[in-house]
């Protein structure tokens, strides 16, 4: 076998066998390559990566955004609190306020899929969301078998509709109510109140009547989210912009059930805009608001930037609801249209709640922050037992603005029922007027470390290329300087004749 002596190998590796011309080509060639790559990294790479990234963001079949849109990678949970009415038998005693204790949370993992996805030539796509919830005992503060006492919504809603009926008709209504399952309150398990439902005698009676006094009753069972779990059509048909033509419109809601107005509120208050909370516009400015529309709220909700946070190493902006979010013109005249027409101009709700009777089939129901946070104190003062907790009762979304990626979501909404005395209805005689909290829905999501690492990489790619370019420029300058130095000092190595040819040893 043949082998090369160690000394000869070292000389070969150091290019001692190269001529001065070859050495100059290597030195100045390498420095030029470093300089060119460095310039590309500094001047071209950041813009190139951003262009490629933003070209990948629009929603289109098979794209990266489409994968996240159809199967959300971040786990979402529904945390429901119920309000247990502890003293319903004592409320007719003068000076005794109804007492409600917040119980729970009852936490459900949410699986969301999109059905009937249809693409249109005008860069929009329609879909029907389907949510399925699975109880998570380990994350919950109670069991689904907990007994909870709540106001009987069917009775209160029917009584509210009958409030202005002629005296004689109200007498017959009261008799029917008392003899067919009407009640001020009922006690059932948490599961029955939330999803499972329970047979309701009064609803069964109302279904059989099916007239203007009882409304269009479709089921003789009752639950806050009855027939909602796993429903494919409950939320309706949404049409959003894909952002293919204009990235600033990506995820923007265009139609709901084929209309661009909800019909729940008048004028601008019923107009559809904003996001469905599945996609958000990227490259959001630091002062821009977030607008979202959720079918459960019957309206859009604006969230304002309130500061910055760092989550999983990602700098983000926190967007929150404010004291005038649920206003009807008292704090913000532009929100007067959230006041039902029959209450305008002087009987609109005080700030802090939205009257949602128009989307609750006429029931005197109100939406607010949990515990009436930010609301006029008169709402919370009608009851005792539960106070607002600003740490967990605020509605916020913390988002990375460049890519429009939500990192932390706490969408908390309380639904309440207004109950007032009626001298013609036995069940409501002698009652104080009060706002009874029924339940709080809190949608919770937080980015996982795995997804956060992908987001960080996407955000840091321009900087990585830039700093690698700086490093290559530095290396190129050093090699170039060394080459010029050797040229000026004429210290290029001149190989001797026997170094030009390496003769292998023979064995």
How does pLDDT run across 336-357, given as a tens digit for each residue? 999 888 888 888 999 999 999 8
Strand positions, DSSP E, 67-184: 76-85, 100-119, 124-135, 147-151
Say what the pLDDT of residue 296 is. 83
Taking residues 187-215, report their average pLDDT. 85
- DSSP-derived 3-state class of residue 382: coil
- Looking up tokens 């963001």 gives 57
Which range, of 2-16, 113-127, 293-307, averages the lowest pLDDT?
2-16
- DSSP 8-state assignment for residue 270: G
Check if the beta carbon of residue 245 is closer than 8 Å to that of residue 62. Answer: no
| CA distance to 64, 263, 274, 301, 413, per residue, from 253 (Å) | 20, 15, 6, 13, 21
Runs of H (alpha helix) within 115-261: 153-161, 167-179, 190-191, 201-209
The pLDDT, as a whole number, for residue 496 is 56
256, 266 in Cβ contact below 8 A?
Answer: no
Mean pLDDT of 176-199: 94
pLDDT digits (tens, 9 = 90+) for 250-302: 999 999 999 999 989 988 899 998 999 888 988 888 889 999 998 888 899 99
Give the integer Cα–Cα distance in Å for 79 and 328. 28
Q: What is the largest CA-CA distance in the chain?
A: 126
What's the rounded mean pLDDT across residues 429-442? 94
> CA-CA distance, 162 to 158, in Å (whole number)?
6
Using the structure block, give the residue that is written with the tokens 């529309």.
293
How confident is residue 410, by pLDDT bands cut at 50, 70 and 90?
very high
Question: What are the beta bridge partners of residue 443?
Answer: 78, 411
Whole-angstrom distance, CA of residue 351 vs CA of residue 325? 9
Report residue 446's pLDDT band, with 50, 70 and 90 as the boundaries.
very high
Is the pLDDT at 118 greater than 90? The verdict is yes
Residue 499 scores a pLDDT above 60: no
Which structure tokens are listed for 302? 């604006």
Q: Is the pLDDT of residue 475 over 80?
A: no
Predicted confidence at residue 97, as pLDDT, reads 94
Average pLDDT over residues 354-372: 90
Rounded to the nearest integer, the mean pLDDT of the chain is 85
Strands of 353-504, DSSP E: 353-355, 365-368, 396-400, 405-419, 434-446
Q: In this structure, are residues 411 and 360 in contact, taking their beta carbons and an 8 Å threshold?
A: no
Report the pLDDT value the prediction gives residue 238, as an integer from 0 to 100: 95
Helix (H) or strand (E) holding 65: helix 64-70
Neighbouring residues of 376: CB distance < 8 A, sequence distance ≥ 6: 350, 351, 352
For the cut 80, the answer to whether the pLDDT of residue 52 exceeds it is no
Query: Distance of CA 147 to CAs 156, 182, 266, 414, Å?
Result: 21, 20, 40, 20
**Is the pLDDT assigned to residue 462 strictly greater than 80?**
no
Residue, of 87 and 464, whose pLDDT is higher: 87
Look at residue 311 and tell me whether its pLDDT is greater than 90: yes
Radius of gyration of the chain, Cα coordinates, nearest whole angstrom? 34
pLDDT value, residue 399:
93
Residue 374: alpha-carbon gap to chain centroid: 21
The position carrying tokens 């000394």 is 7
For residue 84, give the nearest of 67, 73, 98, 63 by alpha carbon. Answer: 98
Task: Please tell me the distance from the alpha carbon of residue 483 to that of residue 488, in angstroms, as a whole number.
Answer: 9
Omega into 105 within 30° of 0, i.e. cis?
yes
Is the model's pLDDT at 121 over the cut of 90?
yes
Q: Which of 105-119, 123-137, 333-347 has the lowest mean pLDDT?
A: 333-347
- Measure CA 85 to chain center: 31
């Amino acid at each position: 076998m043949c082998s090369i002596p160690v000394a000869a190998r070292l000389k070969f590796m150091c290019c001692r066998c190269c001529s001065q011309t070859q050495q100059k080509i290597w030195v100045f060639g390498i420095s030029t390559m470093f300089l060119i790559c460095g310039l590309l990294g500094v001047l071209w790479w950041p813009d190139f990566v951003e262009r490629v990234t933003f070209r990948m963001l629009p929603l289109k079949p098979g794209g990266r955004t489409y994968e996240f849109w159809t199967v959300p990678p971040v786990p979402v949970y529904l945390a429901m609190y119920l309000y247990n009415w502890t003293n319903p038998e004592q409320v007719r005693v003068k000076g005794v306020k109804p007492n409600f204790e917040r119980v729970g949370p009852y936490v459900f993992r949410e699986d969301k899929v999109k059905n009937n996805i249809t693409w249109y030539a005008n860069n929009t796509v329609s879909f029907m969301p389907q949510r399925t919830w699975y109880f998570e005992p380990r994350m919950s503060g109670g069991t689904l078998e907990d007994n909870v006492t709540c106001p009987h919504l069917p009775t209160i809603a029917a009584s509210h509709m009958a409030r202005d009926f002629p005296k004689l008709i109200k007498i017959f209504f009261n008799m029917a109510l008392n003899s067919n399952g009407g009640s001020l309150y009922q006690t059932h398990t948490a599961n029955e109140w939330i999803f499972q439902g329970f047979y309701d005698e009064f609803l069964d009676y109302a279904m059989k009547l099916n007239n203007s006094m009882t409304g269009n009753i479709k089921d003789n069972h009752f639950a806050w989210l009855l027939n909602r779990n796993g429903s494919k059509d409950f939320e309706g048909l949404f049409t959003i912009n894909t952002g293919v033509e204009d990235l600033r419109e990506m995820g923007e809601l265009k139609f709901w059930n084929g209309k661009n107005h909800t019909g729940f509120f008048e004028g601008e208050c019923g107009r559809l805009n904003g996001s469905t909370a599945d996609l958000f516009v990227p490259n959001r400015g630091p002062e821009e608001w977030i607008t979202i529309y959720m079918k459960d709220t019957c309206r859009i909700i604006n969230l304002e930037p309130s500061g910055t946070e760092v989550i999983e190493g990602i700098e983000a902006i926190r967007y929150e609801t404010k004291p005038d979010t649920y206003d009807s013109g008292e704090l913000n005249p532009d929100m007067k249209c959230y006041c039902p027409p029959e209450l305008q101009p002087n009987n609109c709700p005080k700030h802090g709640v939205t009257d949602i009777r128009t989307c609750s089939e006429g029931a005197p129901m109100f939406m607010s922050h949990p515990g009436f946070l930010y609301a006029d104190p008169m709402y919370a003062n009608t009851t005792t037992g539960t106070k607002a907790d600003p740490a967990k009762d605020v509605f916020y979304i913390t988002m990375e603005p460049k890519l429009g990626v939500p990192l932390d979501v706490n969408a908390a909404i309380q639904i309440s029922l207004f109950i007032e005395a009626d001298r013609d209805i036995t069940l409501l005689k002698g009652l104080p007027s009060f706002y009874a909290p029924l339940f709080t829905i809190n949608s919770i999501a937080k980015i996982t470390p795995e997804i956060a690492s992908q987001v960080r990489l996407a955000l840091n790619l321009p900087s990585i290329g830039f700093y690698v370019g700086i490093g290559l420029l530095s290396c190129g300058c050093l090699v170039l300087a060394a080459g010029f130095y050797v040229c000026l000092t004429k210290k290029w190595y001149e190989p001797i004749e026997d170094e030009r040819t390496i003769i292998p040893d023979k064995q």
